[in-house]
Amino acid sequence: MSFVGCDMAVDLGTANTRVYLRGQGIVLDEPSVVAINTHNGAATAIGSEAKKVIGREPGNTVAVRPLRNGVIADFEITQRLIRYFTLKVHRRRWAARPRIVVSVPSGITGVERRAVIEACAQAGARHVHVLDQPMAAALGSGLPVHEAAGSMVVSIGGGITEVAVISLGEIVTAQSTRVAGDVLDDAIVQHVKKEYSLLLGERTAEHIKITIGSACQPELNERIEIRGRDLVSGLPREVVIPATEIRTAMEGPVNAIVGAVKSTLGECPPELSGDIIARGIVLTGGGALLHGLDTRLRNETGIPIHIADRPLDSVALGAGKCVEDFQALQPVLRTRPRR
């Protein structure tokens, strides 16, 4: 049996976890959600099965997103998530004790980092290496991180937006904000509640954002039918909402994301700014797919914006590169943002 064949990379995202196996690529992609039985604390479902439960929980079940805001809100549940996913991809080949490269939100604390390492070790890893998500995203988007030239990557996930400038294999300057996909969804929930007295589930709000949400002025007559629960009567009700309204509802969080990009540019050493103007900014993470966000950023910064080829996969692919070529990429595994 080949030991190295089992080495793996884990993208522990606030919305989705992805697992990359050496030589195979991404083999698992599931929501970072655990459904817990409140009576005995047992996990009743993990991943895709658990996401279906969100907003539909029967009385004795809660669906937990342990990484929701880009921090580890619940150690123990995060550990279960890691253990479950790593065991799921490895099935019976576990005896090989693989090397794991795990990519974590850059804002987590030292204690949380150690908890993740511990969880991977408990799941059977021989060695655990931690890679900051902005570095993984940059590697996975194909940015030349080792060159003596500045690259900027903006990674918009579910719980966190991370903006980083990378040069010579290091994060030169970085910012993160909790304004990301979840906050956009919540802005839609709040708007519909206020203007239509209708309560929406978070999954419905996410669906609205993905189908019709925009960071730029959308087509004038686009609209969407949405269903929720009337706040007053308590009965199910349907309304039709124009896309322009959804755009306005998301304006605050979109501005915050644009602001994080601008202020990171403002902290960037001038030589690196020059490189970024020439090469452009790479957008990645699921939020990079928000309609019109690239145009909006281009208009506001005057810099070319490129959406990564596989924005949802770039962190896992970047961490996967470290697994494929461990020697060459070992230096980036020690990278810490300088704040």
Q: Which residues of this chain interact with Mg ion, rule CB under 5 A?
A: 13, 157, 315
Burial group, residue 237, by CB count within 10 angstroms (0-12, 13-18, 19+): middle
Cα–Cα separations (whole angstroms), residue 22 to 2, 25, 335: 11, 6, 22
For residue 159, the partner it binds in ligand ADP, Mg ion, none, with Cβ less than 5 to 8 A by kind, is ligand ADP
Residue with tokens 């007559």: 221
For residue 290, the partner it binds in Mg ion, ligand ADP, none, with Cβ less than 5 to 8 A by kind, is ligand ADP
For residue 15, the partner it binds in Mg ion, ligand ADP, none, with Cβ less than 5 to 8 A by kind, is ligand ADP
- From the list 11-19, 165-173, 186-194, 331-339, the region that binds ligand ADP by CB under 6 A is 11-19
| Residue 287 engages ligand ADP in binding (rule: CB under 6 A) | yes
d(CA 54, CA 275): 44
Query: Which of residues 218 and 314 has its CB atom nearest to Mg ion in the complex?
Result: 314
Query: Which of residues 66 and 286 has its CB atom nearest to ligand ADP in the complex?
Result: 286
Token pair, residue 324, equals 């494929």
| Residue 14 engages ligand ADP in binding (rule: CB under 6 A) | yes
Give the amino acid at 110: G
Note the maximum CA span of the chain: 64
Which residues in 202-221 contact ligand ADP (CB under 6 A)? 206, 209-210
Residue with tokens 């087509």: 219
- From the list 56-64, 87-95, 225-233, 282-290, the region that binds ligand ADP by CB under 6 A is 282-290
d(CA 16, CA 160): 12
Q: Which residue among 134, 158, 228, 337 contacts ligand ADP (CB under 6 A)?
A: 158
d(CA 104, CA 9): 11
Straight-line distance from the first to the last Cα atom of the chain, in angstroms, rounded to the nearest whole number: 44
Q: How far is the CB of 68 from ligand ADP (least distance, A)?
A: 9
Residues of the shown chain interacting with ligand ADP in the complex, contacts defined by CB under 6 A: 13-16, 157-159, 181-182, 206, 209-210, 285-287, 289-290, 312
